[in-house]
Every structure is written in C-alpha cells, then in structure tokens.
C-alpha cells in the first residue's frame, strides 16, 4: 500500500512537472510570438519612414540642382553687367546718346 502511494505520488509529481513544462513552453512561445509581431510592426514603420526620407532627399537634391542653376545664371548676369555692351544697352533705355550720335525716329 505504501509503495502504491509512493508510486502514485511520483506519477503525480511527474504529471505536475510536465504541466509546468508545457505552460513554460507555451509562455515562452507566446513571448517569442509577441516579440516577432512587435518587430514586424517596427520594420514596417521604419520602412515607411525610410521611403519618406528618400522622397524628401530626392526633392532636396532636385531643389539643390535648381539653386545651382540659378547661381550660375546670376554669375553670368553679373559678368554681363560689367561689360560695355550692357552699359550701352542701359544708356539706350535711358535715352542717352554718344556725343556725336544722332537718332532718327520714323514718323507715324
């Protein structure tokens, strides 16, 4: 009888350990699964953010190229402003003449 009780106690102990082990495996599996879900969500968010940043970078690069072109145009204009041709053009717009120059205007 005593041996039956011991054997029953051992079987009960073994069952309890198996139940604890199963619960632990289920708990660990749940934690790993939850971690994978969180990491997947984070990856999607980071990928979306990366895409937005790449679009922004592309727009800024395009804007930079436009600004470089404007800068080049301004440099060319600055060089032109210092030429005699520009001075003559502005003088004509203001109605100025060379000392020996005569302007003929057609009659309407």
Q: Which helix (H) or strand (E) holds 23?
A: helix 2-81
Q: Which two tokens stand for residue 36?
A: 């994978």
- With beta carbons less than 8 A apart as the criterion, state whether 50 and 56 touch: no
If phi > 0 it is left, if psi is from -120 to 50 it is alpha, else beta; for residue 101 that is beta
Give the pLDDT score at 3: 77
Torsion of CA 25, 30, 32, 34, to 10 degrees: 180
Report the alpha-carbon distance of residue 106 to residue 83 in Å, rounded.
Answer: 30
- Could you say which DSSP state residue 95 is in? T
CA atoms within 13 A on the CB side of 18: 6
Give the pLDDT score at 34: 98
Q: Which two tokens stand for residue 60?
A: 């800024």
Tell me, letter by letter, the H, E, C secondary structure of 83-107.
CHHHHHHHHHHCCCCCCCCCCCCCC
pLDDT tens for each residue of 10-33: 888 999 999 999 999 999 999 999
pLDDT tens for each residue of 40-97: 999 999 999 999 999 999 999 999 999 999 999 999 999 999 999 999 899 888 888 8
């Amino acid at each position: 009888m005593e041996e039956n009780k011991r054997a029953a106690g051992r079987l009960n102990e073994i069952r309890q350990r198996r139940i604890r082990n199963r619960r632990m495996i289920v708990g660990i599996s749940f934690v790993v699964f939850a971690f994978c879900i969180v990491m997947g969500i984070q990856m999607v968010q980071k990928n979306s953010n990366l895409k937005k940043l790449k679009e922004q970078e592309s727009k800024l690069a395009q804007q930079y190229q436009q600004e470089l072109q404007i800068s080049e145009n301004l440099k060319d204009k600055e060089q032109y402003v210092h030429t005699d041709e520009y001075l003559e053009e502005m003088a004509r717009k203001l109605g100025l003449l060379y000392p020996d120059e005569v302007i003929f205007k057609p009659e309407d």
